[in-house]
Amino acid sequence: MFLLSLAASFKDLKIFIYELPSQYNEDWLSNKRCSNHLFAAEVAIHRALMNTYDLRTFDPYEADFFFVPVYVSCNFSTVNGFPAIGHARSLLSSAVQLISSSYPFWNRSQGSDHIFVASHDYGACFHAMEDRAIADGIPEFMKNSIVLQTFGVNYKHPCQDVENVLIPPYIPPESLRKTLEKAPLTGNRDIMVFFRGKMEVHPKNVSGKFYSKRVRTEIWRRYSGDRRFYLQRHRFAGYQSEIVRSVFCLCPLGWAPWSPRLVESVALGCVPVIIADGIRLPFPSAVKWSDISLTVAEKDVGRLGRILEHVAETNLSTIQKNLWDPAVSKALLFNDQMQEGDATWQVLDSIYNKLDRSYRRRSRVSSQ
């Protein structure tokens, strides 16, 4: 009933999508990774909104919100292959200059009814290192707008000091479907605790910061020889087949607190073990995180084995029952064609609750 009532409510919501020159978005798609890597929510949300005909308007004067489709995560480094976002500020600034000089809508509201996606380590601060991200801050031209971002913490932080909606990182739904075709959600789980990823034996000090605050190093040091733990430090393209075999999946912080492992674990039925103090999680009204996951303080990583053993002996079956509800994983996945209850739907629910930022609505009220 809740979702059905939202469907009726959304009929009043109108979003205008700027048609920017291709160098701001489409040109980047020549690299297939652009639409499939962990930051690709910027592409997925754009595609879903383009296909959401009931909500999209081609008349900007009847729009409540304006979506600015700029892809900044597809400039992959030739050195390490990771997304390089050093150009993000200039590309976004150029887009804002274009729309503010071509249309009246940005200037009339100072951008407060405009929506951007910043699906990066530290959101609209556009840097992977926290100290640099904080020093750079959010660009002035974006500070009045709404930012859809993967970064979120439950304390004051300069990189979330903007009207924001917390979104999940992007995981291709097709890859998850193929994994589940080979190994069902409720199938045999012969791995108790799983983690595959960067675990440095001697973490590097970058600008005074240690990678993962040494949490991953501590996990490797304490549990690499523990038969309950399946820990791997190297990349493996088929790692989702390991997640679907696992009972608990570790989701420790990296440089930033969030991780794509959160979404993959939920979608593949492995209980996420969140080790990232102060992390804020997406769509809490749709995903009851306390019912489907475990949270372990960074300082308690040395007790991880005992904590997980206790859960396995007590309430594991209840957590798994909650976790395996299809609506839970659906809420964290983006689809090219929006589906009722999926991640784009959750974004629109959050946007709908911000209608007080709509210039059109405010103008209508003031004229009555």
Distance CA 51, CA 94 (A): 26
| CA nearest neighbour of 109 among 139, 140, 145, 138 | 145
Contacts of 307 (CB under 8 A, 6+ apart): 294, 296, 300
Pairing of strands 271-275, 246-252: parallel
Q: Is the pLDDT of residue 303 over 90?
A: yes
pLDDT tens digit string along 153-168? 999 999 999 999 999 9
Each residue's pLDDT tens digit, 101-145: 999 999 999 999 999 999 999 999 999 899 999 999 999 999 999
Mean pLDDT of the chain: 93
Terminal C-alpha separation, the chain = 33
**CA-CA distances (angstroms) from residue 121 to 124, 137, 248, 253, 254?**
9, 13, 24, 11, 9
Residue-level pLDDT at 82: 81
pTM of the model: 0.94
CA distances in angstroms from 281 to 45, 63, 210, 239, 274, listed in the order given:
18, 29, 23, 23, 10
Quick check: 164 and 146 in contact, CB under 8 A? Answer: yes
Q: Where do the domains of the chain lie, and which CATH numbers do they carry?
A: 15-170+334-362 (no CATH), 173-331 (3.40.50)
The pLDDT tens digits of the residues spanning 10-47 come to 878 999 999 999 999 999 999 999 999 999 999 999 99
Rounded Cα–Cα distance for residues 66 and 42 (Å): 15
- Gap between the Cα atoms of 85 and 78, Å rounded: 13
- Which one, of 69, 216, 66, lies nearest residue 145 by Cα? 66
Q: Report the pLDDT averaged over residues 59-87.
A: 90
- Tens of pLDDT, residues 242-298: 999 999 999 999 999 999 999 999 999 999 999 999 999 999 999 999 999 999 999
The two structure tokens encoding residue 291: 């019912």
